[in-house]
Amino acid sequence: MQRLSTADRDFEKRFARLVDDRRESDLDVSRAVTQILGEVRQRGEAALVELTQRFDKHALRNKEGWRITPEDCAAAFHALEPPLRAALELAAARIRAYHADQLPQDRDFTDEAGVRLGARWRAVDAAGLYVPGGRAAYPSSLLMNAIPAQVAGVERLVVVTPTPRGENNPLVLAAAHLCGIGEIWRIGGAQAIAALAYGAGRIAPVDVITGPGNAYVAEAKRQLFGVVGIDMVAGPSEILVIADAANDPDWIAADLLSQAEHDPAAQSILITDDERFASEVEDRVDVQCSMLSTERTARESWSAHGVVITVADLAEAPTLANRLAAEHVQLAVADPEALFAGLRHAGSVFLGRHTPEAVGDYVAGPNHVLPTGRRARFASGLSALDFMKRTSFIGMGPEALAKIGPAAIALAEAEGLPAHARSVALRLP
């Protein structure tokens, strides 16, 4: 774990190194994924059978081996304890309400030249949703991906999820039932992304692929962008907590560990204006780590990538936060608005001492599929818009064309494109 202070003479050098540390897939992962994608594209189902047996120790021999049925999902949902079923239903309702408010409006108007202009939004025909099933098998991720797609109006939703040694995660199945998803394939990894993008025998291709996964899944999505649309290339999870000394150090330690327990490559960063408080949080992280069932992962993440930064004044924090452009930024202060006003780059922001990031992972409503690796500088969290595309349209009569056509002719001729100019000129008086 690193300790930095803005008072240190080498702070800028060390902080710049922190900002540039991507913690993502290397060249070996890229090469392996390229090979897997090629295998699936060339050999289809045969490649999926071999790769699933190799990586998941699961045989895709018959219909039951390939698919998880709606009946299986319904059984898993109804087998849940009532409080857990109610929690899933609450999460789904809040996610649906939040994303429904994101739907864009079509435009159709006529400007002063008499030209009709506008745009229509339409959902893609099919979306593939990747749901992890190895180290992390999260029903919340299924809700966060499926519900925005449904809100957007996608007609065909396809879930792929690995089932190591043939074992399903019942919570994932329950979430699929709650979302009404009927097409679920028991495949994972880069090979599942390839099957969604190219199609493979009984699996028809999709238009957009979303959902979190390991380094191989992320790299497969990166390589296939253009063949299909993707939500983003996501790396290990991140949290930046900006906190003053009035916080309970146990609370802040728990917040930092909430991301550290995801993955050994996850990163948790604390910015505070109090050295003593920073030390107290470090102590509580160590104590709480020993009480977690995820201790090994959390401790490895905190030891390798955890950072505590002390500043003279928390007013300095937004500048540092904007350079980090973290996936999650938690403003654990009495009045977060001043810090929030200066925050330009973040995947999602959590305002105040009683808004832990973890609540956003489940029931707050906004999506928990967020940009990592400093991509919050230019990218946003998953939304209904990721499952839609906009088609512009233009319409005009002879009078409108006469008003703006000559300018089009002039520009076409200047660019050396005479056929462009002629197609307009022939229509003018």
Beta strands in 327-423 (DSSP E): 328-332, 348-351, 388-395
What count of other Cβ atoms lies within 10 Å of the Cβ of residue 71? 9
Among this protein's residues, is 99 annotated catalytic? no
Tell whether the torsion through CA atoms of 53, 59, 63 and 69 is positive or negative. negative
DSSP 32-69: HHHHHHHHHHHHTHHHHHHHHHHHH-----SHHHHEE-
SS3 content of the chain, % helix, strand, coil (to 5): 50, 15, 35
Among this protein's residues, is 337 annotated catalytic? no
Q: How far apart are CA 381 and CA 210, in angstroms?
A: 11
The answer to whether 66 and 202 have CB atoms below 8 angstroms apart is yes
Query: How many residues comprise the chain?
Result: 429
What count of other Cβ atoms lies within 10 Å of the Cβ of residue 389? 15
393: β partners: 118
Please pick, among 280, 282, 327, 357, the residue that the annotation labels catalytic.
327
Q: How many helices (H) and strands (E) does the chain have?
A: 18, 15
Which of the 8 DSSP states describes residue 135? S
The answer to whether 184 and 73 have CB atoms below 8 angstroms apart is yes
Pairing of strands 208-210, 229-230: parallel
Beta strands in 116-266 (DSSP E): 116-123, 126-130, 156-160, 183-185, 208-210, 229-230, 238-243
What count of other Cβ atoms lies within 10 Å of the Cβ of residue 125? 11
Please pick, among 328, 345, 357, 368, the residue that the annotation labels catalytic.
328
Q: How far apart are CA 363 and CA 144, in angstroms?
A: 10
The answer to whether 306 and 269 have CB atoms below 8 angstroms apart is yes
68: β partners: 184
Catalytic residue set: 327-328
